[in-house]
Chains A and B, each alone.
Chain A
Amino acid sequence: MTQTIKSPARPLPPEVARRTTQRAGGWRLARRLVSHGLLLTGSVAMLIPLVWMLSTSLKKSGQEWIFPPVWIPDPIWWRNYLEATDALPVPFYVYVVNTFVITFNATLGTVLTSSLAAFAFARLRFPARNFMFLLVISTMMLPGAVTLIPRFLIFRYLGWLDTFLPLIIPYWFGGTAFSIFLLRQFFMNLPRELDEAARMDGASSLQIYWQIILPLAGPALASVTIFQVWGHWNEFLDPLIYINSMEKYTIALALRTFQNIRSQRVNYLMAVSLLQVLPVLLLFFSAQKYFIRGVQLSGLSGR
């Protein structure tokens, strides 16, 4: 937990710092206590739902209906996790594998094709480049719901319904506008001399992209990758539209089914929900820096 969101807390301006130290120390202490109090209260409010989820998932059936609620289950009933997933019509690992296959392929497509486009927008000169980039930006603002119905009809026409293809193939065509934008910003900041020197040595654009720019873009690629993995892992609407067979369900869809068949077993429901949350938390804690960077860069487009 110590390796948390990094960014130095802003130091007080020297003038203010001096003045505050001159003032009564009690006032300063009170302010700090109030700030900590507020932050702590907020933290508790933020954590309680997650704790409640975990607590419910570990309650032996029957205990979840005790009111006022018991916070620490007695006994701690780990077996819920096994029994809950047994209650699903298809072994849980199938959903995990399905979600993984979709996430992996869609993310790979996004990283490859959006970095290609981002490279062109950042480092190649071609006619209508700015206009094209404007198109990319404008699709970021487009409500996805507008294309919902025709996209469905296109994939139906192609015979792709009830396959993973509608969830993967679009990402092999430029990925998402946001990832193009994020990568372009990063590529723009790499020194131009790299390309020029390579071109003097007779390197092609593809070689510059693959051998020079991509290896330097690790952090940006990591941000895009993590963002995509997170997005596809959570995605609900698209799988809901395109996947019908239970054995092709993603975790999100399986949870939905589980809600229907097991709504009376809330301890099981919380257990399977946590199974969707846990990998996300793992991902976050193993790559926090890139996660935060991705979110922050998304905000910079507003500047």
Chain B
Amino acid sequence: MTAITKPSRRWRRGPRWREAVDGWLFILPWLLGFLFFTAGPMLASAVMSFLEWEILTPPTWVGLANFHQLMVDPLFGLVLYNTAFYTFLGVPLYLLAALVMALLLSLPLRGIPIYRTIYFLPSLTPAVANALLWVWIFSPDFGLANYFLRLVGLPPQKWLFDIHLAKPALILMGLWGVGSQMIIFLAGLQGIPQVLYEAASIDGANEWRRFWRITLPMLSPTIFFNLVIGVIGSFQVFTTAYIATQGGPQNATLFYVLYLWRNGFDYFKMGYASALAWVLLVIVLVLTLIQFRLARRLVYYEVEEPA
């Protein structure tokens, strides 16, 4: 009888209640971390973007002044251009390279496992060691890059010291590390049901057609994933530029996060850096949303057939 009059108390002592409490307890560490290290700081940086605060002096409310300054800051325009250049040239190039690699590496050939290891290996190189290595490769006088140019009869270049070549050189450097994207593509390729290819062959589709009609559509979710992650990552490029060029020459490789870092930790402009951070968030969000919109038309998702 009490069960009917006081169902809530009954429920509270029941196993479902205990499971719910356990569930919340188990995610509590993550939840606290989320509040203190992600959500809280995000809100804080939103508020701080309206402040002028140089850490040692007390903060003052300046309204939209930081955002206004962004619009007139000539470096900000350059930083956006640099980052967009790096992203819109680099990311598609990496996707294409990783896809071609993955297609080659899924051919039924002898030695494929060894090839796969070799192609994946460079992507493991720690960012700092990687940057130092490529600075040396791009050395104008003694570097490997100019050595190869000489072998094919081209004039030597200044690479990272050349205002026009510095960004392409950094993109080239990233090309060496596409192994992890390649591995993701390989997993995607292996997920394509073999029967599709068999059916297409019986219908007389040649290899080219099978690639465009089966492989590419079936792989489109993986391509989309690599694209989204690639753009987000690319907009945050920091270590390579910090080590390899320090943003130079003439700010040609001053990328977004490097500029943000400088404002925050070199000039101690906490307010301005926070404004930069929020603008970055908005840019990345908008780019991601655009990609999701495009994905609706271009990405093929398998729908489970009702049995």
Spell out A's residues near B (CB within 8 Å): 1-2, 4-7, 9-16, 19, 32, 35-36, 38-39, 42-43, 46-50, 52-53, 56, 64-69, 113-114, 116-117, 119-121, 124-127, 129, 132, 135-136, 139, 141-154, 170, 172-175, 180, 199, 204-206, 209, 230, 233-234, 236-237, 240-241, 252, 255-256, 259, 266, 269-270, 273-274, 276-277, 280-281, 284, 288, 292, 295-296, 298-303
Contacts and interface: CB of A to CB of B under 8 A. Distances in A.
A295 B180 contact: yes
Main secondary structure, interface of B, reads helix
B281 A5 contact: no
Interface in B42-81: 42, 44-45, 48
Contacts of A252: 126-128
Contacts of B127: 234, 236, 252
B82 interface: no
Interface size class of B (residues with CB under 8 A): 35 or more
Contacts of A299: 183-185, 187-188, 222, 225-226
Residue of B20, B121, B141 contacting most chain A CB atoms (<10 Å): B121
Nearest to B190: A7
Contacts of B22: 120, 124, 126, 204-206
Nearest to A236: B239
A39 B122 contact: no
A50 B40 CA distance: 42
- Identify the 9 closest CB pairs spanning chains A and B, nearest first: A302-B225, A173-B33, A174-B30, A126-B23, A299-B184, A150-B41, A120-B26, A296-B187, A4-B113
Interface string B80-101: 0000000000000000000001
Interface of B: 15-16, 18-24, 26-27, 29-34, 36-38, 40-42, 44-45, 48, 101, 104-109, 111-122, 124-129, 132-134, 136-137, 139, 141-142, 144, 147, 150, 176, 179-180, 183-191, 194, 197-198, 201-202, 207, 221-222, 224-226, 228, 232, 235-236, 238-239, 242-243, 256-257, 260-261, 264-265, 270, 273-274, 277-278, 280-281, 284, 288, 301
B264 A119 contact: no
B105 A46 contact: no
12 contacts: A2-B114, A4-B116, A9-B107, A116-B27, A120-B27, A127-B20, A143-B280, A148-B260, A209-B26, A240-B242, A298-B184, A299-B184
Contact of B128 (A4, A12, A276): A276
A131 B113 CA distance: 41
Contacts of A69: 142, 144, 147
A198 to B, nearest CB: 13
B126 A234 contact: yes
Nearest to B272: A149
A117 B29 contact: yes
A136 B29 CA distance: 13
A148 B264 contact: yes
B48 A255 contact: no
Given A10-B108, A116-B29, A173-B29, A124 B184 contact: no
